[in-house]
Chains A and B, each alone.
Chain A
Amino acid sequence: MILDAKIPPGAIDKKWTDYRFNMKVVNPANKRKHKIIVVGTGLAGASAAASLAELGYNVHAFTFHDSPRRAHSIAAQGGINATKDYPNDGDSVRRLFYDTVKGGDFRAREANVHRLAEISNQIIDHCTALGVPFAREYGGLLDNRSFGGAQVSRTFYARGQTGQQLLLGAYQSLMRQVGAGQVKLHTRLEMLDLVTVDGVARGVIFRNLVTGELERHEADAVILATGGYGRAFYLSTNAAGSNVTAAWRAHKRGALFANPCFTQIHPTCVPVAGEHQSKLTLMSESLRNDGRVWVPRKAGDTRSPDQIPEAERRYFLEEKYPSFGNLVPRDVASRNAKQMCDEGLGVGESGLSVYLDFHDAIERVGEGKIREKYGNLFHMYEKITDENPYQVPMRIYPAVHYTMGGLWVDYNLMSTIPGLHVLGEANFSDHGANRLGASALMQGLADGYFIISQTIGNYLVSNALPKITTEHAAFADAERSVKARLDKLLGAKGGTPPAEFHKRLGKILWDDCGMARNEEGLKHALEEIPKIREEFWRGVSVTGSGQDFNLALEEAGRVADFLEFGELMALDALTRRESCGGHFREESQTSENEALRDDENFCHVAAWEHQGKNIASSALHKEPLTFENVHLTQRSYK
């Protein structure tokens, strides 16, 4: 298979403009004749559904939540990047493009990243017009702050709830279209299979989570905006319901999965408290603007932090990276925190955390100012840990947060299955091997508001799409296989809750495919995961009925998919024998323990094709990456 990314010709800064002109457009009167399914109503899905409906398409939006406003985009705290250069500090489209390509450790497509940087400003304009209450200065204009991996202030924010406000903006636009009858909204419907007819995506099988009924929906194009797969690790900052099911089912129907091993471990999370924990909580990395990260210089120093004098503290990021200091990219910050803990310098009961100290910032600007900026985060931290971060330093530790890998898409955001488009975190395209802070919201909204609304028209006009109905045999086949799987889950007569298998998978992935990976560990994971999978199908307990609101059944289905997907993740990590961004192979590091890329052998996107039952025999296809505008260099943040 040749992976054609369909990158338009021409200079990098002209590609998107020229491409938009060269695309075919759908006649306004014909748009309503095209039915489009959008699965997922987070930033990418809601913005896509709203924009497509505004254009006149017949849009059906689906969410497995009770409301489109619940998607996990809502939990993003810190902000959204754009190249407005309002602070006059030298930002430009080119600089955001450069920072993103470099931050991604040269494993993203230049053309996609440049388009993202170009669109970034339109997003801010649009969201402001929608009433997103971004932070402002006294003069009434928008405020900016700086974020990890950047030396300019280009991040727009709404207190510590930027994701919430951006999602509500998109949600309100979506609901406006629902009210206008342009979007048919389907809540509490979970996608369980993709329907392809002659190799083209033409529909989806959903399960109604309240009644258990299976529903068939046909369309001219299908859009997946179903988020990332961080919950494969069980413990992550993702929502309890976040899952890989929709993307995985599409993968099993022929969509290639790209770079599944590229996961982001976020440096500033509340440390794990115990076995019972169901999820981890992120503390926005904007905190690193004012907080200083340190550990005691001496291993086993059990004094309380305020008793440790300045000279006996190791501000390890400031010492090692003088020019970026505490604002190094996420992968670098995470790895260094792990290294400190590995050396026995970690703090807290488990020794698995480092301090994030606001003492100096509070002295400098006062507690009021810090409260204004981070009040809700400090409040949340205190609730979870019962410690007051205005008085004692926060304790933080890295946690799985975001997944850069995802379904492979071309420049049009179309997967290897014609008609199946993938947006937001669910695709792989823009962040390479490491995502910069405040870029996820930007990408989700760029994909939804501004890219898919253009490229899907070209697809619809350029392809003859024969009329089909849900009576087509492909729907019956897909429904049958979905039903067989549900019956199998309900028929499992074991006594073990699904969560226990999920926790075991998570522990293996965290140990062997987490912040640092090596051949031995990954081979261990590849041996263990199929065993857990087998035990799952023998020993899982799913009580209740299939014709009911059954949370155990929902959970078991998602865990079963993670148990397959986790193996592909480890396989990808094993195959990529280089370090890049968040993928740190211990065998490939510089003398200073930084990630050492191997551009000669691994300057490509690794896209996996499913081959029948056996995940171990998935076929690897490579899309070579070329860098014509940002020169391949070893990343340095010193």
Chain B
Amino acid sequence: MNFKLRLWRQANGNAKGNFQEVEAQGVSPDMSFLEMLDEVNNDFLREGKDAVAFESDCREGICGTCSLVINGLPHGPDRGTTACQLYMRKFKDGQTITVEPWRAKAFPVIKDLAVDRAAFDEIISVGGFISVKTGSAPDANGLPVPKRDADSAMDAAACIGCGACVAACPNASAMLFVAAKVSHLGHLPQGQPERQRRVVRMVSKMDELGFGNCSNRNECEAACPKEISVEHIARMNRDYGVSALLGTDRDRSEAGA
């Protein structure tokens, strides 16, 4: 198969970027999209040219490192699939393929197709956890969890933190990412003590870091390689509303309640 690629090239976050046109020839339909890019880069290196920067690691759809907008869609046209698991057989021979980085204010470009997603870690660091010290846990079967709740928690916990939801959202909102964590931990009895504090802190950190608001376009769900449902956003909004009404533990202790 042969393709015409339009690759986004940008020297660094402050530089102006542009598209570079490259022919990818003799591509096997069994290649993954990233393996196709590997070959393009190997050709660049053979010609003494600077390779195009793109990120990947596990190449089996679980680490969340790869982050390409392919023909306008985060992770490309295949639903429920990361770019590393997108195979060239899904494209038409001779097709033009445009490859861009995630575009969001909170994800600045590092170089070419690589962006900085440290903002996600920062959101987790203010509340995306259950506070348990190593060594202090009771027996794992001491606290039964209804299978339905455990399964729903797992549905939300499947998030790989890739950021496709942000890249797909017209407002560059991180609601699906945050909601997935809030919902994962909120579905479990272990997560209840910090439930209100968690949602308030994570949402305010998200706002502070420059992510946009949710306007219910559901583009995030459509782009999510793990097909995480927007229902989790509704759940998070409920939790947030309750917390706003009742105040978090901290508000209450500060108020002397």
- Which residues of A are interface residues toward B (Cβ below 8 A)? 47, 50-51, 54, 65-72, 74-75, 84, 86, 122, 124-131, 133-142, 158-159, 161, 164-165, 168, 171-173, 175-176, 178-179, 185, 187, 210, 237, 239-241, 273-274, 276-279, 281-282, 379-380, 383-384, 386, 449-450, 453, 495-500, 541-544, 548-552
- A532 to B242, alpha carbons, bound, how many Å? 65
In the assembled complex, B97 has its CB within 8 A of some CB on chain A: no
Known: A67-B121, A140-B145, A384-B87. A544 touches B129 (CB 8 A): no
A384: chain B residues within 8 A (beta carbon) = 85, 87
A128: chain B residues within 8 A (beta carbon) = 137, 140, 143, 190
On whether the beta carbons of B50 and A544 are closer than 8 Å, the reply is yes
On whether the beta carbons of A161 and B158 are closer than 8 Å, the reply is yes
Instruction: Give the interface centre of B58, B146, B161, B191 by most chain A CB atoms within 10 Å.
Output: B58
On whether the beta carbons of A239 and B28 are closer than 8 Å, the reply is no
On whether the beta carbons of A178 and B134 are closer than 8 Å, the reply is no
Minimal Cβ-Cβ distance residue in A for B124: A175
Q: What is the distance, in angstroms, from B139's C-beta to the closest C-beta of chain A?
A: 6
B51: chain A residues within 8 A (beta carbon) = 543-544, 551-552
On whether the beta carbons of B57 and A278 are closer than 8 Å, the reply is no
- In order of increasing CB-CB distance, the 10 nearest A-B pairs are A140-B144, A179-B125, A129-B137, A172-B129, A128-B140, A133-B154, A125-B137, A497-B45, A175-B125, A497-B42
Known: A541-B48, A544-B51. A133 touches B150 (CB 8 A): yes
On whether the beta carbons of A380 and B110 are closer than 8 Å, the reply is no
In the assembled complex, B30 has its CB within 8 A of some CB on chain A: yes
On whether the beta carbons of A129 and B130 are closer than 8 Å, the reply is yes
In the assembled complex, B81 has its CB within 8 A of some CB on chain A: yes
A187: chain B residues within 8 A (beta carbon) = 118, 121
B133: chain A residues within 8 A (beta carbon) = 54
On whether the beta carbons of A66 and B117 are closer than 8 Å, the reply is yes
B58: chain A residues within 8 A (beta carbon) = 70, 72, 74-75, 239-240
- A164 to B158, alpha carbons, bound, how many Å? 8
A125: chain B residues within 8 A (beta carbon) = 137-140
- A273 to B28, alpha carbons, bound, how many Å? 10
Q: What is the distance, in angstroms, from A551's C-beta to the closest C-beta of chain B?
A: 6
- A543 to B42, alpha carbons, bound, how many Å? 11
Minimal Cβ-Cβ distance residue in A for B117: A66
On whether the beta carbons of A136 and B147 are closer than 8 Å, the reply is yes
On whether the beta carbons of B65 and A278 are closer than 8 Å, the reply is no
- A161 to B153, alpha carbons, bound, how many Å? 13
- A65 to B64, alpha carbons, bound, how many Å? 11
Q: What is the distance, in angstroms, from A535's C-beta to the closest C-beta of chain B?
A: 15
A542: chain B residues within 8 A (beta carbon) = 45
Minimal Cβ-Cβ distance residue in B for A209: B110
In the assembled complex, B55 has its CB within 8 A of some CB on chain A: yes
On whether the beta carbons of A67 and B190 are closer than 8 Å, the reply is no
In the assembled complex, B126 has its CB within 8 A of some CB on chain A: yes
Q: Pick the residue among A165, A241, A380 that contacts B57 (CB under 8 A).
A: A241
Known: A138-B147, A543-B48. A239 touches B59 (CB 8 A): yes
B120: chain A residues within 8 A (beta carbon) = 67
Q: What is the distance, in angstroms, from B238's C-beta to the closest C-beta of chain A?
A: 19
Q: What is the distance, in angstroms, from A386's C-beta to the closest C-beta of chain B?
A: 7
B136: chain A residues within 8 A (beta carbon) = 129
On whether the beta carbons of B134 and A549 are closer than 8 Å, the reply is no
B214: chain A residues within 8 A (beta carbon) = none
Provide a sorted-by-A list of 18 A–B residue pairs whose CB atoms are within 8 angstroms: A50-B134, A74-B63, A125-B140, A126-B135, A128-B190, A129-B137, A130-B190, A133-B154, A137-B147, A138-B147, A175-B129, A237-B60, A239-B59, A273-B30, A278-B34, A380-B61, A499-B42, A549-B114
Instruction: Give the interface centre of B49, B51, B89, B190 by most chain A CB atoms within 10 Å.
Output: B51
- A379 to B79, alpha carbons, bound, how many Å? 12
On whether the beta carbons of A543 and B45 are closer than 8 Å, the reply is yes
B34: chain A residues within 8 A (beta carbon) = 278
Count class of interface residues, chain B? 35 or more
B110: chain A residues within 8 A (beta carbon) = 210, 549
On whether the beta carbons of A84 and B125 are closer than 8 Å, the reply is no
On whether the beta carbons of A161 and B62 are closer than 8 Å, the reply is yes
In the assembled complex, B141 has its CB within 8 A of some CB on chain A: yes
A51: chain B residues within 8 A (beta carbon) = 134
In the assembled complex, B41 has its CB within 8 A of some CB on chain A: yes
A134: chain B residues within 8 A (beta carbon) = 140, 150
- A71 to B63, alpha carbons, bound, how many Å? 7
- A90 to B153, alpha carbons, bound, how many Å? 31
On whether the beta carbons of A142 and B57 are closer than 8 Å, the reply is no
Q: What is the distance, in angstroms, from A121's C-beta to the closest C-beta of chain B?
A: 8
Contact with A along B145-163 (1 / 0, CB 8 A): 1110011011001101100
Contact with A along B31-44 (1 / 0, CB 8 A): 11011001101101
On whether the beta carbons of B154 and A158 are closer than 8 Å, the reply is yes
Known: A50-B134, A75-B60, A173-B129. A136 touches B150 (CB 8 A): yes
- A66 to B63, alpha carbons, bound, how many Å? 11
Minimal Cβ-Cβ distance residue in B for A556: B45
On whether the beta carbons of B154 and A131 are closer than 8 Å, the reply is no
On whether the beta carbons of A133 and B188 are closer than 8 Å, the reply is yes
Q: Pick the residue among A131, A279, A497 that contacts B130 (CB under 8 A).
A: A131
- A178 to B44, alpha carbons, bound, how many Å? 40
Minimal Cβ-Cβ distance residue in B for A545: B50
In the assembled complex, B116 has its CB within 8 A of some CB on chain A: yes
In the assembled complex, B53 has its CB within 8 A of some CB on chain A: yes
B64: chain A residues within 8 A (beta carbon) = 69-70
- A276 to B45, alpha carbons, bound, how many Å? 16
- A107 to B23, alpha carbons, bound, how many Å? 52
- A159 to B151, alpha carbons, bound, how many Å? 9
B89: chain A residues within 8 A (beta carbon) = 386
Q: Pick the residue among B60, B111, B125, B130 that contacts A281 (CB under 8 A).
A: B60
On whether the beta carbons of B132 and A126 are closer than 8 Å, the reply is yes
- A142 to B145, alpha carbons, bound, how many Å? 9
Known: A70-B64, A140-B145. A130 touches B129 (CB 8 A): yes
B85: chain A residues within 8 A (beta carbon) = 380, 383-384
A158: chain B residues within 8 A (beta carbon) = 154, 157
- A449 to B132, alpha carbons, bound, how many Å? 12
B63: chain A residues within 8 A (beta carbon) = 69-72, 74-75, 239
In the assembled complex, B212 has its CB within 8 A of some CB on chain A: no
On whether the beta carbons of A136 and B145 are closer than 8 Å, the reply is yes
On whether the beta carbons of B46 and A495 are closer than 8 Å, the reply is yes
Q: What is the distance, in angstroms, from B85's C-beta to the closest C-beta of chain A?
A: 5
16 more CB-based (< 8 A) A-B contacts, given A134-B140, A278-B59, A281-B60: A54-B133, A68-B121, A75-B60, A86-B141, A126-B137, A128-B140, A130-B129, A130-B130, A131-B129, A136-B146, A274-B31, A383-B78, A384-B85, A495-B48, A541-B46, A549-B53
